[in-house]
Amino acid sequence: MFYKLFHLAIERGFIDPLTTLPPFSEESLTGLLCYYLNSKNIILRDIPLYNVQNFTLIKEKAIYLFPANGIAVSEYPLIHANDIQMNIWGAMRADIMYIGPDIVTMIENKIGSGFTYGGDKEVGQLARQIDFLMNSKVPVKNLILLSSRDMFNRPWYRVEFKETLEFKVKFGEVSGYLMCWEDVIDKVL
């Protein structure tokens, strides 16, 4: 599965601009996506988003979550105000945090590894990320789970995300989306 993504990255030119090397890990994929988001060398209006409930296309495209006046930061520290928050998310980092004037979109990239503190919809990794977003002062808050189409068709990631969203989120405080690496890599300029 990983090798398919890395091969696709080479084929489509989703490469490091400094070395011209392709990504070789989850971290390198994340770093390159951060670069492409900031350099605006990706066609966000053509990248589909998927419903967490059933992995079906939704009408919104990725551009809806990444306004042009925002910035992407890789390995963004989840900053805490007190000991309670530190115990929840103090040691965690967002794979990518996209921050705009009125919107924040956190991306969690998974291409085969498990979730930190996985399997727990109350205090697992996704729950902690949702807690962080709910505590942010930005009005529009989104969490994207980014993986391969193959991993979403095996429902493990998707089901954990769905169950966590249903447990944690009340009144639309945080919106959840799925995004596929194949769609992202295909839209690099």
> How much is the pLDDT for 1?
64
The more confidently predicted of residues 70 and 81 is: 70
> How much is the pLDDT for 72?
98
> How much is the pLDDT for 182?
97
Instruction: At 5, list the tokens.
Output: 């993504």
The more confidently predicted of residues 113 and 67 is: 67
Instruction: At 114, list the tokens.
Output: 């498990």
What are the domain boundaries of the chain?
2-186
Distance separating alpha carbons of residues 80 and 87, to the nearest angstrom: 9
Pair 74, 96: CB distance under 8 Å: yes
How confident is the model over 84-105, as a mean pLDDT?
Answer: 90
Residues 6+ apart with CB under 8 A from 41: 188, 189
Q: Count CB neighbours of 140 within 10 A.
A: 17
Across 22-31, 33-42, 87-96, least confident range? 87-96
Strands 71-77 and 93-99: antiparallel
Distance separating alpha carbons of residues 130 and 66, to the nearest angstrom: 18
The more confidently predicted of residues 139 and 89 is: 139
Burial of 56 (0-12, 13-18, 19+ CB in 10 A): exposed
> How much is the pLDDT for 84?
85
Over residues 2-18, the pLDDT tens digits come to: 789 999 999 999 999 99
Over residues 97-143, the pLDDT tens digits come to: 999 999 999 999 999 887 876 677 888 899 999 999 998 999 999 99
> How much is the pLDDT for 117?
66
Three-class HEC string of 81-94: CCHHHHHHHCCCEE
Instruction: At 54, list the tokens.
Output: 């059933």
Residues facing 107 on adjacent strands: 96, 144
Asked whether the whole model's pTM tops 0.75, one would answer yes
Distance separating alpha carbons of residues 120 and 187, to the nearest angstrom: 34
Q: How many helices (H) and strands (E) does the chain have?
A: 7, 7
- Average pLDDT taken over every residue of the chain: 92
